[in-house]
């Protein structure tokens, strides 16, 4: 069965919202290499509607691809969980408008590499509640924002097991966790 991996950039206080506004000063070749490794282990993306719309407005129009992120995002099959999105123009996109838990469970049973979720806070929190997440791959940045959408909202109760950690020269830490009960 395929693994479902939540792949997020977070501040020290757990904010995941708008990383393009705060992560830039800490990005370097080490972080790019870590991102590339994560992309290589995945052959499908799962996105919520809001993240999808943001990505779809930006990534299809990018041409300078020194990191491989543009090619990965444009070529990888994308599955968007949405009850309101009726049309998806970004290449290789499928809308999942039925029962999300059922549809994602079916995706996990298909052959292939891991499925990654990026951004998509509401979707990730519903996946947590449904016990569908196999791994959390977190890049924690050395900044505290004090406000913003957090990965683990109030009321989320989960025990995680650290399976890997790595620090980078910019002060960013890569942490890989799995749910303790799996």
Query: pLDDT for 109-129, tens place per residue?
Result: 999 999 999 999 999 999 999
Query: pLDDT for 56-115, tens place per residue?
Result: 999 999 887 777 788 889 999 999 999 999 999 999 999 999 899 999 999 999 999 999
Query: pLDDT for 90-99, tens place per residue?
Result: 999 999 998 9
Q: Are 1 and 111 in contact (CB under 8 A)?
A: no
Q: Look at residue 182 and tell me whether its pLDDT is greater than 70.
A: no
**Alpha-carbon torsion, ordered 119, 123, 127, 130, to 10 deg:** 170
**In sequence order, what E strands does 25-159 have?**
42-48, 78-81, 93-96, 114-118, 135-141
Q: Are 26 and 142 in contact (CB under 8 A)?
A: yes
| Sheet with 160-167, side-by-side order of all strands | 93-96, 78-81, 42-48, 114-118, 4-11, 135-141, 173-179, 160-167
Query: pLDDT for 128-178, tens place per residue?
Result: 999 999 999 999 999 999 999 999 877 777 789 999 999 999 999 999 999
Q: Residue 12: CA atoms inside 13 Å, Cβ hemisphere, count?
A: 7
Burial class (CB in 10 A: 0-12, 13-18, 19+), 92: middle
Going from N- to C-terminal start, the domains of the chain cover 4-179
Specify the fold of 4-179. Answer: Dihydrofolate Reductase, subunit A (3.40.430)
* pLDDT in the model for residue 158: 78
pTM above 0.85, yes or no: yes
């Amino acid at each position: 069965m395929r693994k479902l991996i939540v792949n997020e950039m977070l501040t020290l206080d757990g904010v995941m919202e708008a990383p393009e506004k705060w992560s830039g000063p800490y990005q370097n070749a080490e972080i790019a290499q870590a991102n590339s490794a994560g992309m290589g282990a995945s052959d499908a993306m799962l996105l919520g509607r809001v993240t999808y719309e943001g990505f779809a407005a930006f990534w299809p129009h990018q041409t300078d691809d020194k990191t491989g992120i543009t090619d990965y995002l444009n070529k990888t099959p994308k599955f968007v969980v949405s009850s309101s999105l009726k049309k998806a123009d970004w290449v290789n996109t499928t809308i999942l408008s039925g029962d999300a838990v059922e549809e994602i469970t079916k995706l996990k049973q298909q052959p292939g590499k891991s499925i990654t979720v990026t951004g998509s806070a509401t979707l990730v929190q519903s996946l947590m509640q449904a016990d569908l997440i196999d791994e959390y791959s977190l890049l924690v940045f050395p900044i505290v924002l004090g406000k913003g959408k957090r990965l683990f909202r109030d009321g989320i109760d989960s025990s995680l097991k650290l399976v890997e950690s790595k620090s980078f020269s910019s002060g960013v830490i890569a942490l890989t966790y799995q749910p303790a009960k799996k």
